[in-house]
Chains A and B, each alone.
Chain A
């Protein structure tokens, strides 16, 4: 299995498209950091305008942590696309290029081959999120000094700067799991297709549809919301709550892991029975 995973990585990192995600993240983070550096105070003034009569703010609320938090918020929209581009091509790409004819006539088990591809897609996804973390926190330190962080959710949380680092680490950890679900979904569609574009478009369509359903507050949708993985993708924000609701995070993590397992098993069923006709 280790040999198969190594081979998948060898193939993956020999292609230019693999680096597109990293370059895109770098550019987006850089643009946001520069933008915040230039116009950040205006944005903060706008955000706290309505609270100015009630609260008095002291110190620098625009700091490396708050900017990283803003980046996290904005990038969870873009990262799924970058993940789907690679995960959606893992199986369908080989089918489309005809290279499965070369691979599957060798003494390689289909289950092992698919599992190696799945693991590679998930490791790549993790690398993207870790890269995002390093850039957003690391670059943030270049532009800004650290400071206390204000998080506006249902309540306003002011987090002490000494109580933030661990929250970012676990939030990014949760972010990895939530992106694994997106990768697993794109991978599932990839196992059904011989065209790389279809899995990307399909997984994005499902993601958009489910996100809309997850955010609708109508009774009929309330019933299905707990079963939609999109209801839990933004669960990383829970780590910035005070106190942290560990039970809710645990439940959300279980649902996400359940989806990953289900998508993988379904992809396995499809791939092991699939006729290679391309």
Chain B
């Protein structure tokens, strides 16, 4: 697989605070790479170092196989980025903002391209309105449009759903998936909203206190973890007895709602179901919880 971004042992210290310590990871072509961590964990600092906004104290950033510090111009012309809030020139219109940013990217005669992008982010009808009249969601969408101006290979979105309402979050999620699946873009998306990352990313990194906690494919990382089981059976008392007999090493508990709770490896879940069915106990509901949120909380 083609490596798009390779971060090697990146470090940054602000005064006495070690913001990023020895962070390494790799993003491959076609990834939607989740960048996870609590607030203040060093996500934004790492992303800013990748984009040359912050100078690292140590380590190396390789983009498209080139060292960022050696080939900044060539590398940045293949990246689109939206870092934290989408801050535009509020006294200019959406069109003028994109026009200015396009010219900074060295693109001229871009009127059609800008209108096409405004169409994609559903802002074509507000193209000539000043940005100061835009809602947060509209600014975020305009932020996405500006990342696409120069048709980049890699798009970096830092906290793209911050401040958005549920509909805005849904729109953003769909847009990210479209950028990846329909337009073939590689994306790095940082967020502390874990549910979103779980829904969109195929690979991820979790950092905490400036250090890498874990990195890899989301599916494999989740599979390797223990699952929380919540089970409702036709006869809770009998089900509990059967399960305790069948799995003596596991701890099954029954609560006041007649739900049976247990923490167990993912591979045991089909066996639990099978044991109950064989014992003639109806399984009314079987819920397993091992989402990114649990994973995140366990690891940070």
Q: Is B55 touching A275 in the complex (CB atoms < 8 A)?
A: yes
Give A100's nearest chain B residue, CB to CB: B53
Q: Is B73 touching A107 in the complex (CB atoms < 8 A)?
A: yes
Other-chain residue from A6, A99, A104, A105 in contact with B89 (beta carbon distance below 8 A)? A99
Name A129-156 residues within 8 Å CB distance of B: none
Bound-state CA distance A147–B185 (Å) is 73
Residues of chain B lying within 8 A (CB to CB) of residue A275? 48, 53-55
Segment touching B, from A7-15, A56-64, A71-79: A7-15
Q: Is A14 touching B53 in the complex (CB atoms < 8 A)?
A: no
Q: Is B55 touching A11 in the complex (CB atoms < 8 A)?
A: no
Q: Is A101 touching B105 in the complex (CB atoms < 8 A)?
A: no
Q: Which of B77, B90, B103 has the most CB of A within 10 A?
A: B103
Bound-state CA distance A101–B105 (Å) is 14
B residues adjacent to A (C-beta < 8 A): 48, 51-55, 72-74, 76-77, 79, 81, 83-85, 87-92, 96, 100-101, 103-106, 146, 150
Bound-state CA distance A104–B150 (Å) is 15
Q: Is A105 touching B83 in the complex (CB atoms < 8 A)?
A: yes
Q: Is A101 touching B101 in the complex (CB atoms < 8 A)?
A: no
Give B48's nearest chain A residue, CB to CB: A276
Q: 17 A–B contact pairs at CB < 8 A? A: A3-B103, A3-B106, A7-B104, A10-B100, A11-B89, A99-B87, A101-B81, A101-B84, A101-B87, A102-B88, A105-B76, A106-B76, A107-B77, A108-B104, A275-B48, A276-B54, A277-B54
Give A276's nearest chain B residue, CB to CB: B53
Bound-state CA distance A3–B85 (Å) is 27
Bound-state CA distance A105–B91 (Å) is 21
Name A89-137 residues within 8 Å CB distance of B: 97-109
A residues adjacent to B (C-beta < 8 A): 3-4, 6-7, 10-11, 14-16, 97-109, 273, 275-277
Q: Is B52 touching A97 in the complex (CB atoms < 8 A)?
A: no
Q: Is A15 touching B54 in the complex (CB atoms < 8 A)?
A: no
Residues of chain B lying within 8 A (CB to CB) of residue A277? 48, 53-54
Within the complex, what minimum Cβ distance (angstroms) separates A159 from chain B?
46
Residues of chain A lying within 8 A (CB to CB) of residue B89? 11, 14, 97, 99
Other-chain residue from B54, B55, B106, B146 in contact with A102 (beta carbon distance below 8 A)? B146
Q: Is B91 touching A14 in the complex (CB atoms < 8 A)?
A: yes
Residues of chain B lying within 8 A (CB to CB) of residue A10? 100
Within the complex, what minimum Cβ distance (angstroms) separates B84 from chain A?
7
Give A101's nearest chain B residue, CB to CB: B83
Within the complex, what minimum Cβ distance (angstroms) separates A187 from chain B?
20
Other-chain residue from B79, B87, B100 in contact with A105 (beta carbon distance below 8 A)? B79
Q: Is B76 touching A107 in the complex (CB atoms < 8 A)?
A: yes
Bound-state CA distance A100–B52 (Å) is 12
Within the complex, what minimum Cβ distance (angstroms) separates A5 from chain B?
11
B contact face: mostly helix, strand, loop, or mixed: loop
Q: Is B55 touching A105 in the complex (CB atoms < 8 A)?
A: no
Q: Given contacts A104-B53, A107-B72, are A11 and B100 in contact (CB under 8 A)?
A: yes
Q: Is B87 touching A97 in the complex (CB atoms < 8 A)?
A: yes
Residues of chain A lying within 8 A (CB to CB) of residue B105? 106-107
Residues of chain B lying within 8 A (CB to CB) of residue A16? 91
Q: Given contacts A106-B104, A107-B106, are A98 and B48 in contact (CB under 8 A)?
A: no
Residues of chain A lying within 8 A (CB to CB) of residue B85? 98
Known: A98-B85, A102-B101. 5 other contacts (CB 8 A): A10-B100, A101-B83, A102-B88, A102-B146, A107-B77
Residues of chain A lying within 8 A (CB to CB) of residue B91? 14-16
Q: Is A105 touching B81 in the complex (CB atoms < 8 A)?
A: yes
Residues of chain B lying within 8 A (CB to CB) of residue A105? 51-53, 76, 79, 81, 83
Q: Is B146 touching A273 in the complex (CB atoms < 8 A)?
A: no
Within the complex, what minimum Cβ distance (angstroms) separates B162 from chain A?
13
Residues of chain B lying within 8 A (CB to CB) of residue A108? 104
Other-chain residue from A15, A103, A109, A276 in contact with B73 (beta carbon distance below 8 A)? A109
Within the complex, what minimum Cβ distance (angstroms) separates B110 from chain A?
13
Q: Is A7 touching B54 in the complex (CB atoms < 8 A)?
A: no
Give B72's nearest chain A residue, CB to CB: A107
Bound-state CA distance A273–B88 (Å) is 24
Give B102's nearest chain A residue, CB to CB: A106
Give B87's nearest chain A residue, CB to CB: A98
Residues of chain A lying within 8 A (CB to CB) of residue B52? 104-105
Within the complex, what minimum Cβ distance (angstroms) separates A152 from chain B?
47
* Nearest 4 pairs of A and B residues by beta carbon: A98-B87, A276-B53, A107-B77, A105-B81
Residues of chain A lying within 8 A (CB to CB) of residue B72? 107
Give B99's nearest chain A residue, CB to CB: A10
Within the complex, what minimum Cβ distance (angstroms) separates A160 from chain B?
50
Residues of chain B lying within 8 A (CB to CB) of residue A273? 55
Bound-state CA distance A202–B263 (Å) is 63
Residues of chain A lying within 8 A (CB to CB) of residue B51? 104-105
Residues of chain A lying within 8 A (CB to CB) of residue B83? 101, 105
Within the complex, what minimum Cβ distance (angstroms) separates A235 from chain B?
38
Bound-state CA distance A108–B85 (Å) is 21
Residues of chain A lying within 8 A (CB to CB) of residue B55? 273, 275
